[in-house]
Amino acid sequence: MADNKDQDHKPESIERLRVEEFPVASQIGALTDANKGLRRKIFDLYTIFEISRHLNSMLNLESLLDATLFTCIGQMGVAGAAIVVQDATDNKLSHFHWKGLTIPKDSIMHFSRVGRLARHLQRIGQPQLIRELQGAIPAESDDFAKLKIIEAELVVPLISKGNLLGILFLPRKLSEMPYQENDLEFVSILVNQLSVAIVNAHLYESEKQALLELRSAQKRLIESERLAALGRLAASIAHEVNNPLGIIKNYLTILTKMPDVSMDAKSSVTIVHEEVDRIARIVRQLLDFYRPTLERQVELNLIEVIDSTLDLVSQKLESVGVEIHRDYFGDDVRISGSSSRLKQVFLNLILNARDSMASSGGKLMVEARCVDGFVEISFSDTGTGIPAEDLPRIFEPFFTTKKESGTGLGLAVCHGIISSHNGAISASNNDLGGAKFLIKLPLLKGKDASA
Ligand SMILES: Nc1ncnc2c1ncn2[C@@H]1O[C@H](COP(=O)(O)OP(=O)(O)O)[C@@H](O)[C@H]1O
Ligand SMILES: [Mg+2]
């Protein structure tokens, strides 16, 4: 249109236009192209600036991946995008995330860190077009099949400190135009920003985890200090009671042997004697709080200790309808401890389980397994279970729901003994409605492989 106008107004200058204006027109064309390129660069930079700000403020991995995929879709003119990143737990490239693509439900989109694709991308460290990959990884490989499912055209590695953190996959552009140099530049900057943000997110997660663990360790410490203090108090009272109790028992014995004491008085003295014996039994249990530290700890096979305790009571339990199930992961679990004290713990737990199943029998499941340098032993029953409001109190000395027949000292003693073995004991209710007691004890170093 502009040319026609020029022709109308200056018909005489056509010849001059042909000779002189053509180079100018082509320069204008080149300038327009450069201008377009510049505009695109400014737009890319602006987007990168915005997304970087956004990514740096995000600490949640899912949101980071979402934001990156949406940016790619908008900026690259693609129908969808996918990304796989390292899973925090298994150190594999198995956390697969995608938008706008059709990925069959049953496809497992994990990528091995030692596979050809991962190794190639880690080495190259640059975006790769699918045709560049065709030479580098076998067409019949698993990785290639996955690239086909994603319909990947551009594959971009996420690298942090020389390690492959993940891979971004982009399909063909909707315009069918090939990826250009500035596209590659854009995704490279984007994935660099994303890698930094992912490392930050992982760091944040692990700090958060460490803080939670610290808090729960503090809570356990306060709880076990509280129980230990209660235990020490109870034991010191027992110590004071023990001496006068011995004297009372002696005098009662003397009394029953006196010739001029009537039969009535003698039978009363016998009742007093029985009650004094009961007090003496409680006092003995209370004194147990002091003893664990005095006992020598030696190397022992914990499974043998559990088995010999169960054998001791199995007939008695069976006679009241309690079945025992044993499930041990390994039969030689070495720890350092006192077998008599540990037997006392197991016996207390077994007798409590029996009490809770006294009315109609049931099952007692004893399991042992080794995890991360510890052995975990659980005693699980099908009894009454522990009411939620009692759970925080059952390890306190004298806490009992058994009225006359209970002393409330069994679990307090268990707690003291397990603590003196540098272990932990906890209680919960199981899926069967009964109670579950879990004991964790440290394995002897270098012995955990046997279990
Ligand atoms: N296996 C269990 N099932 C249900 N409740 C239990 C179980 N073990 C312990 N308890 C609860 O914990 C309380 C304290 O137990 P313990 O210290 O052994 O004292 P005691 O057996 O003398 O009552 C019990 O009275 C009972 O309420
Ligand atoms: Mg008990």
322-335, pLDDT tens digit by residue? Answer: 999 999 998 899 99
Q: Is residue 319 in a domain?
A: yes
Lowest mean pLDDT among 132-146, 274-288, 326-340: 274-288
Ligand (nearest to CA of 412): 1
pLDDT at 308 over 90: yes
* Residue at which a domain ends, from 186, 204, 222: 204
Q: Which residues pair with 111 in a beta bridge?
A: 93
Q: Are residues 172 and 314 in the same domain?
A: no
CB of 362 sitting under 6 A from ligand 1: no
Residues 156-210: tens digit of each pLDDT: 999 998 889 999 999 999 999 999 998 999 999 999 989 998 888 888 888 999 9
Going by DSSP bridges, is the β-strand pair 322-328/362-371 parallel, antiparallel, or unpaired? parallel
- Cα of 393 from ligand 2 centre, angstroms: 13
Residue 255 within any structural domain of the chain:
no
**Probe ligand 1: pick from 282, 390, 411, max atoms within 8 Å of CB?**
411
In a domain? residue 232:
no
pLDDT of residue 3: 44
Mean pLDDT across the chain: 86
pLDDT computed for residue 226 by the predictor: 80
Domain presence at residue 425: yes
The reply to whether 265 falls in a domain is no
Residue 223 lies in a domain: no
Kindly state whether residues 200 and 296 are assigned to the same domain.
no
pLDDT for position 231: 76
Residue whose CA is at the smallest distance from ligand 1 atom 13: 400
Check whether residue 51 and residue 154 sit in a common domain. yes
Q: Is 268 within the bounds of a domain? A: no
Cα distance between residue 90 and residue 208, in whole Å: 19
Task: Please indicate, yes or no, whether residues 299 and 397 belong to a single structural domain of this protein.
Answer: yes
- The residue whose CA has the least distance to atom 5 of ligand 1 is 386
> Which of the listed residues 159, 180, 204 is the one where a domain comes to its end?
204
Q: Residue 167 Cα, ligand 2 centroid: separation in angstroms?
A: 58
pTM score, whole prediction? 0.56
Distance in Å from the first CA to the final CA of the chain: 89
> Distance between CA atoms of 8 and 432, rounded to whole angstroms?
98
Ligand nearest the Cα of residue 429 is 1
pLDDT confidence of 290, banded at 50, 70, 90? low
Domain containing residue 310: CATH number? 3.30.565.10
Q: Give the CATH number, domain containing residue 33.
A: 3.30.450.40
- Is 317 found in the same domain as 190? no
Is the distance from the beta carbon of residue 410 to the nearest atom of ligand 1 less than 6 Å?
Answer: yes
Backbone angles phi, psi at 80, to 5 degrees: -165, 180
Last residue within a domain, chosen from 177, 204, 231:
204
Q: Within a domain: residue 360?
A: yes
For 368, the domain range is 292-450
> Percent of the chain, pLDDT > 90?
50
- Residue to mutate (ligand 1; options 366, 384, 390, 394; most atoms within 8 A of CB): 394
Cβ–ligand 1 contact at 352 (below 6 Å) = yes
Alpha carbon distances (Å) from 445 to 231, 277, 334, 372, 450: 30, 44, 9, 11, 11
Ligand 1 touching residue 122 (CB < 6 A): no
374 forms bridges with which residues in the sheet?
371, 442
> Ligand 2 center to residue 269 CA distance, Å?
29
Overall domain count for the chain? 2
**What is the pLDDT, as a whole number, of residue 21?**
58
Digit-coded pLDDT (tens) for 131-140: 999 888 888 8
